Structure 1
Amino acid sequence: MDLGIKGKNAIVCASSRGLGRGCAMALAAAGCNLVVNGRDPQALKATATEIRDRFGVSVEEVAADVSTHEGQKALLAACPAPDILVNNNGGPPRRDFRELSRQAMLDGVTQNMVTPLELIQATIDGMTERGFGRIVNITSLSVYMPIQGLDLSSGARAGLTAFLAGVARGVAGKNVTINNLLPGKMDTERLQSGIRFGAEKAGTTYEEQAERQAAEIPAGRFGTADEFGSACAFLCSAHAGYITGQNLVLDGGLYTSAF
């Protein structure tokens, strides 16, 4: 399906690896020109090169920490008027909440709540003026369902969700949408870290722990970055202008709810 966004300009944060990379790939396949971002210049360059070779779109690389003002300025210098913004950032490491210092809590909220809000502040007015904008925030299933050790990440992402619920309604009439993608157990480095954490705690092997976790998912498997990226690209498409302020869960049915 033609998503109707060929030639649009997109910033995809933390897109050298994992789910962000999957989103960048899907948007490039739809014909978008991209700014990709990551902290590891080599991984970033490899991703950018693959996107150029496969899809023939323009790709700017910004090696920076998106949580810093310098990183954000670099992103916006590379794409001053984005049509699409995909907010993504690494979360705080797994840690018992008793071990969190005040600074660690402030850093976590900055990473997963303040940073996307600052980027939205910097880009949303231009989107409304041009009459088109798509903002997608990668949050987590933990917004709905607690994950042990990720309390700080969950709290910050839930705060972002609540903050933007009203903002989304305020710009909907300008054909600007704001939605959230909530990944469950996706086959990424972060999931692999969690499996190792669980295996050590349970005294089992990584393979046994992975099999046990996959068996808990009704789909019987972990999700992929490619299918996650496809969902992101649809929310960014011309066909999704009537979808805003929503939380789309991609978890293979893991979260049990009728609504």
Structure 2
Amino acid sequence: MDLGLRGKQAIVCASSKGLGRGCATALAEAGVSLVLNGRDETVLRATAQDIRARFDVEVQEVAGDVSDRAIQDALLAACPEPDILVNNNGGPPRRDFRELDREAILKGVTQNLVTPFELIQRVVDGMAERGFGRIVNITSLSVYVPIEGLDLSSAARAGLTSFLAGIARGVAERNVTINNLLPGKLDTDRIRSAFKAGAGTEEENKARIAADIPAKRLGTPEEFGQICAFLCSVQAGYMTGQNIRVDGGLYPSAF
């Protein structure tokens, strides 16, 4: 399917690896020019080089923490008029809620609520003026299903979801959509650390985790990215304010 995105420009946050890279790759395949971001400059450069080599699109790199206002400024300097914004950021580490102090709480909320909202504030009016905009926020299945030890991450992402629900509907008539992708158990560095932490081998622990998923496997960043690219497409213009679970059927709900 031609997504109608050739020649568009996208900022993809935290895109040097994992789900962000999956989204960036799928957008590049659709002909979108990219501004990539990641904390590790070496990993970011390698990702950019790989995408340039595979697809005939421009790829710029902005290394650093996307929660840093200077890095946000650099992203917008590299792409002043983005057609697409993919918000993504690392979440707080697993921690018992009793161990959270105010500094840790504020950092988690900044990472997973304030940062994406700040970027949306800076790009949404320009998108509306130009008559096209696609904003996709990578949140988490934990918005629906509490995960022990990730309470701060869940709270911040749920807060972002509620924050944007009305905003999405306020810009829909200008062909600007805001949707959220909620990954379940996908094969990323974060879940691979669980393979290593278990009592068995990495393969045994991976199989144990996959056994709880109706699809009986982990999702991949590549297929996650293709869903993101569709949400950014011209065909998805009538779809906004939605939470799309990408979890292999893990969340047991008919609605």
Matches within 5 A, 1:150-161: 150-161=150-161
For residues 68-90 of structure 1, the C-alpha deviation after alignment (integer angstroms, 9 at most, x for no partner) is 10110010010011000000000
Whole-angstrom distance in 2 between the partners of 1:237 and 1:195:
35
Give 5+ residue unaligned stretches, structure 2.
none
Whole-angstrom distance in 2 between the partners of 1:148 and 1:205:
23
Q: Which residue of 1 aligns with 2:221?
A: 225
Q: Which residue of 2 aligns with 1:251?
A: 247
Whole-angstrom distance in 1 between the partners of 2:217 and 2:101:
36
How far does residue 150 in structure 1 lie from its aligned partner after superposition? 0.8
For residues 19-53 of structure 1, the C-alpha deviation after alignment (integer angstroms, 9 at most, x for no partner) is 00000000000000000000111110111011111
Matches within 5 A, 1:81-230: 81-197=81-197, 199=198, 203-230=199-226
How far does residue 210 in structure 1 lie from its aligned partner after superposition? 1.8
Whole-angstrom distance in 2 between the partners of 1:223 and 1:3:
22
Aligned-partner SS, 1:136: strand
Whole-angstrom distance in 1 between the partners of 2:232 and 2:158:
22
Query: What amino acid is the match of 1:157?
Result: R
Q: Say if 2:50 is the partner of 1:54.
A: no
Asked if 1 retains the 8 angstrom alpha-carbon contact of 2:195 and 2:201, the reply is no
Q: Once the two structures are aligned, what percentage of the paired residues are identical?
A: 71
Whole-angstrom distance in 2 between the partners of 1:13 and 1:127:
18
Q: Say if 2:78 is the partner of 1:78.
A: yes
How far does residue 206 in structure 1 lie from its aligned partner after superposition? 3.5
For residues 111-146 of structure 1, the C-alpha deviation after alignment (integer angstroms, 9 at most, x for no partner) is 000000000000000000000000000000000111
How far does residue 148 in structure 1 lie from its aligned partner after superposition? 1.4
Query: What amino acid is the match of 1:252?
Result: G
Aligned-partner SS, 1:137: strand
TM-score in terms of structure 1 length? 0.97
Seen in structure 2, the aligned counterparts of structure 1 residues 96 and 196 have a Cα distance that, compared at 3 Å, is farther
Aligned-partner SS, 1:231: helix
How far does residue 14 in structure 1 lie from its aligned partner after superposition? 0.3
Aligned-partner SS, 2:177: strand
Whole-angstrom distance in 1 between the partners of 2:142 and 2:187:
16
Question: What is the alpha-carbon root mean square deviation over aligned residues?
Answer: 0.9
For residues 187-221 of structure 1, the C-alpha deviation after alignment (integer angstroms, 9 at most, x for no partner) is 00011123444x2xxx4444332211100000000
Aligned-partner SS, 1:11: strand
Q: Say if 2:29 is the partner of 1:29.
A: yes
Aligned-partner SS, 1:252: coil
For residues 140-174 of structure 1, the C-alpha deviation after alignment (integer angstroms, 9 at most, x for no partner) is 00001111111110100000000000000000000
Whole-angstrom distance in 1 between the partners of 2:148 and 2:201:
19
Runs of 4+ in 1 over 6 A off after TM superposition: none
